[in-house]
């Protein structure tokens, strides 16, 4: 039993080692760049061992999307939830997302921005997993804004889906421009735009974010 548990533990460690590499590769080169042979060579593992962990390229891609989602939740979603519901949480969620992109948690910037472009016109399980991740993120932004509206910090007539769309667009544009030009000024422009939109939607007296 101890021997079996040790094998399972080693397998789990190897799986995490592989996935840490796959999310980095995919963020720069796309999910199609993943292969068992490449990973085995780069990580000095056996091809049969890597294949045994995932079974197919598609499962490797799906596992990579799930791992990226886990990292994203750890770096962006959970810290934002520590802030009380309201405009402050909306702002914190956006700030964390911009820092996640700016800090290159994934070397290619936002992992999902890249793989969405890669799989948006395709069909199949990987496309569906990417769509699910994108919808979950949009729903979270909308829910966070709606909580601020319900709590009386945003005007009752605020169009929640529209505001969410605009905030996400500002964040994704900052990511794209920064990655393309290898510069960071786009993040400040996004922060200015997000603060402006929240300021225009907030009710009088609500503490608002300041961009230095």
Question: End-to-end distance of the chain based on CA atoms, in angstroms?
Answer: 59
Cβ–Cβ < 8 Å for 100, 27:
no
Domains of the chain and CATH, by start: 57-201 (1.10.357.10)
**132 φ/ψ angles, rounded to the nearest 5 degrees:** -60, -40
Query: What digits encode the pLDDT tens for the residues 9-57?
Result: 776 889 999 999 999 999 999 999 999 999 999 999 999 989 899 989 9
Please tell me the predicted confidence (pLDDT) of residue 154.
Answer: 97
Query: What digits encode the pLDDT tens for the residues 153-210?
Result: 999 999 999 999 999 999 999 999 999 999 999 999 999 999 999 999 999 999 888 8
Cβ–Cβ < 8 Å for 147, 138:
no
Q: What is the pTM of this model?
A: 0.91
């Amino acid at each position: 039993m101890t021997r079996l548990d040790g094998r399972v533990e080693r397998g789990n460690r190897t799986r995490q080692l592989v996935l840490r590499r796959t999310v980095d590769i995919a963020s720069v080169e796309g999910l199609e760049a993943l292969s068992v042979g490449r990973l085995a060579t780069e990580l000095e593992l056996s091809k049969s061992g890597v294949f045994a962990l995932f079974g197919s390229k598609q499962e490797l891609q799906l596992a990579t999307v799930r791992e990226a989602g886990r990292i994203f939740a750890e770096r962006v979603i959970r810290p934002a939830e520590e802030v009380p519901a309201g405009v402050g949480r909306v702002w914190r969620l956006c700030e964390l997302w911009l820092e996640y992109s700016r800090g290159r948690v994934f070397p290619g910037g936002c992992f999902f921005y890249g793989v969405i472009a890669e799989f948006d016109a395709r069909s199949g399980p990987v496309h569906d997993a990417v769509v699910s991740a994108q919808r979950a993120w949009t729903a979270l932004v909308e829910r966070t804004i709606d909580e601020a509206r319900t709590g009386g910090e945003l005007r009752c007539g605020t169009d929640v889906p529209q505001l969410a769309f605009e905030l996400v667009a500002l964040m994704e544009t900052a990511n794209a421009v920064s990655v393309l030009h290898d510069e960071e000024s786009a993040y400040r422009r996004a922060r200015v735009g997000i603060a402006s939109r929240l300021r225009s939607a907030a009710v009088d007296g609500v503490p608002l974010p300041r961009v230095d």
